[in-house]
A = this chain, B = another copy of it.
Amino acid sequence: MATGRTHRPATRSRGIPEATVARLPLYLRALTALSERSVPTVSSEELATAAGVNSAKLRKDFSYLGSYGTRGVGYDVEYLVYQISRELGLTQDWPVVIVGIGNLGAALANYGGFASRGFRVAALIDADPAMAGKPVAGLPVRHTDELEAIISDNGVSIGVIATPAGAAQQVCDRLVAAGVTSILNFAPTVLSVPEGVDVRKVDLSIELQILAFHEQRKAGEDSPSPAAPAAAARSGAGVRSSASRKGPDGDVPAVMPA
């Protein structure tokens, strides 16, 4: 989801819609799987199913890249893999640093899919001196003091922040000052960055909250059908002070927030 695009007022000329860009990795993954099974061609319908979108959307997306299919036949798998990879910039190597080697940072470092496609972990960085030198996922953890040197020595332009929330902005500032222009933020904070720097965030708690929203609606469903397994009615406590407030007051079983 979700990101803080900061630059580019919506590229003119060869502009690929942001929504399309966000789906290209999905297509690429599905195509790679087909490629591994040596499937030579695929129709928009099949590929769309594999990627979890509908075929019209997929065809429209591909139309922004060019005319890479063959009418009456479909798409050449290998060729498409290449085109999408190129479009995404995966035909080059992207060194990445991960800052904050706690539980999450270590998990990210160990995540295979990382290296698999264009990305290479150039270094793991942590502020804890006790961590320095300790190997994680085969790489020695480096101390934060070295951050700037690591960035510039390796030509790193993408940084991953997996620190506690409190340290994130500071780390971000240093990364940016050192030359990083794309940041993937796992810390639950809004980062502020200068123009020209892209930030994307991944936030467990936000995702869960969105799910809870929909889950809540399912429970309070007007009743008739959807075979509700009705996972036990949870009860709450507390009371709401009513008062004037006009909002569309909902059902909701009461209970106070934090």
Q: Which of B85, B179, B248 contacts A229 (CB 8 A)?
A: B179
- Taking a contact as CB atoms closer than 8 A, the residue among B152, B192, B202, B207 that contacts A207 in the complex is B202
What distance in Å separates the Cβ of A48 from its nearest Cβ neighbour in chain B? 11
User: In the bound complex, how far is the Cα of B13 from the Cα of A110, in angstroms?
Assistant: 46
Do the beta carbons of B155 and A184 come within 8 Å of each other?
A: no
Indicate whether A92 reaches chain B with its CB closer than 8 angstroms. Answer: yes
Residues of B within 8 A of A110 (CB): 103
For the complex, what is the distance from the CA of A152 to the CA of B104, rounded to whole Å? 29
Instruction: Please tell me which stretch of A74-82, A125-133, A138-146 contacts chain B, meaning at least 4 of its Cβ atoms lie within 8 angstroms of it.
Output: A74-82
Contact string, A169-205, partner B, CB cutoff 8 A, digits 1/0? Answer: 0000000000101111000101010001010101111
Interface residues of A (CB under 8 A from B): 1-4, 7-8, 11, 13-14, 21-22, 24-26, 28-30, 32, 35, 40, 50-52, 65-68, 70, 76-79, 81-83, 85-94, 96, 102-104, 106-108, 110-111, 113-114, 116-119, 152, 155-158, 179, 181-184, 188, 190, 192, 196, 198, 200, 202-218, 226-227, 229, 231-232, 234, 236-237, 239-241, 244-250, 252-258
* A151 and chain B: residue at smallest CB distance: B231
Assess the A257–B1 pair: CB atoms within 8 A.
no
A114 to B4, CA, bound (A): 23
Contact assessment for B1 and A22 in the assembled complex, using a CB-CB cutoff below 8 Å:
yes
